Chain A
Amino acid sequence: MRLKRKDLLGIEELSAEEIGLILTTAESFREVSEREIKKVPTLRGKTVINLFYEPSTRTRTSFEIAAKRMSADAVNISVSTSSVVKGETLKDTARNLEAMRPDCIVVRHASAGVPRMLAGYVGCSVVNAGDGSHEHPSQALLDMLTVKEKKGGIEGLKIAIIGDITHSRVARSNIYGFTKLGAAVTVAGPPTMLPPGIEALGCKATTKMDSAISDADVIMMLRIQTERQKESFFPTVREYSSLYGLNSERLKKAKPDAIILHPGPINRGVEISSEVADGPFSLILDQVTNGVAVRMAIFYMLLGAAREE
């Protein structure tokens, strides 16, 4: 059993079986991080390059730790200190990195489609670590793993995703993933942040947060990009928070066993109150722990078998 792919570019192109296979494999990898010696020799001699054109703490560290726990060598390139500032094109950067014979390039970029373009330039595996407002597949996989772990399964669950749906790659990847596994997804946000036609991805959309969370098993809060406030997507942070923020008062309207996810970094007091973020229903840190296991599984499945010629 293996993923018959060179690259992991998005959840859209994965089948339910492939997602299931990655999640089952990730469940086995969780144990490695609990050991005293947190390392297995599986990917000895493989090289992973983390190429991040956007800032990131969680995702980049998580990919790096995952690679190292598999005994692969991980190299980080952050663009502010690279030749990109001297004007090197993406294509030239890709070709030069490829000339050093890595086995995998993990890429994050502000423009949608960059990982796919890169995958066309290089022979090694490419993993999308977030491209523009398009997809963030490893985040969706760790979200699904966290939900599966807590709820025992995903089929038949109701998932509410709240916030800036328009600009969220996390939302898009999760809509694809959860609907493929048989969950019902509802997205909610202010009208300026709900892209028209989002229902075509197989979810419901509403501007009323309370109706989205009232029967939800999982409430996923998205980070509100306060820098976008300048672009007038919402009048004030305070108004956004009162209409679409999750606090303990609003949480009373949800099911008593609803679980809360957030991809981080959180804006305390904006989209989620500290009480809720640090409360008993929040799985925010479980998500981070599962992120390492999911990324180990991704590396294992892309790099752990001989390449089909």
Chain B
Amino acid sequence: MKKIMMDDKAIDRALARVAHEIIERNRGTDKLVILGIPTRGYHLAMRLQNKIEEIEGVRPLAGAVDATLYRDDLGIKKDQPSLKKMDIPISIDGKIIIMVDDVLFTGRTTRAAMNALMDFGRPLSIQLAVLVDRGHRELPIKADYVGKNIPTSKKEGVKVHLEETDGINEVVTEPAID
């Protein structure tokens, strides 16, 4: 049985809070570039871009960073991930990069995305914003901004559904399948 952990409103409030936290911590929007990890992290990045503009009146640049070519399981998994969009709108040298993903789990995607970014330049800093942190890290990685902590068992599934891709805004957990 799937369980709804966040509904439309809860997701929106969490993103609004994260937007405020990003602005507070970086003292404004100067040097900010918001890059989402496709597919859903990208749409969350677009939403954060809008929220930050609503608050500050300045629209930060936003884009996508695809981690596929930097994954550590290529050549191990039988199923091959398809490539997503890479869209880095400006030189990232000296910029504060807000990397956005839907769910933070093992940390491996984050590692891959950071390596991808480093091939594009030398950012001033990289900060990580996620809608859900579900625990079970396999690498020393930690989010700077978290929409909601959802403690899970390792076998459970956590799915983020967004209007843009799934027609509905919700975060659900699904019981272990084995």
Contacts and interface: CB of A to CB of B under 8 A. Distances in A.
Do A and B pair up? The answer is yes
Contacts of A304: 74-75, 80
B88 to A, nearest CB: 9
A41 interface: yes
Contacts of A31: 86
A292 to B, nearest CB: 15
A300 B119 CA distance: 19
Interface of B: 66, 69-70, 74-86, 115-116, 119-121
Nearest to B66: A28
Contact of A25 (B66, B77, B82, B119): B82
Interface of A: 1-2, 21, 24-25, 28-29, 31-32, 35-37, 39-42, 300-301, 303-306, 308
B80 A301 contact: yes
Given A39-B119, A306-B76, A306-B78, A29 B83 contact: yes
A4 to B, nearest CB: 10
A306 B119 contact: no
A36 B118 CA distance: 11
Nearest to B70: A41
B118 to A, nearest CB: 9
Given A40-B69, A42-B74, A305 B80 contact: yes
A42 B81 CA distance: 12
Given A1-B82, A28-B84, A306 B70 contact: no
Contacts of A29: 83
Contacts of B84: 28
Nearest to B82: A1
A80 to B, nearest CB: 34
Contacts of A36: 120-121
A28 B85 contact: yes
Contacts of A25: 82-83
A105 to B, nearest CB: 18
Contact of A2 (B80, B120, B121): B80
B35 to A, nearest CB: 14
A303 B116 CA distance: 20
B86 A305 contact: no
Nearest to B118: A37
Nearest to A309: B78
Contact of B69 (A42, A301, A303, A308): A42
The 9 closest A-B pairs by CB, nearest first: A2-B80, A28-B83, A305-B80, A40-B69, A42-B69, A37-B119, A1-B82, A306-B78, A31-B86
A160 to B, nearest CB: 32
A28 B78 contact: no
Of A1, A21, A39, A308, chain B has the most CB atoms within 10 Å of the CB of A1
Contacts of B83: 24-25, 28-29, 300
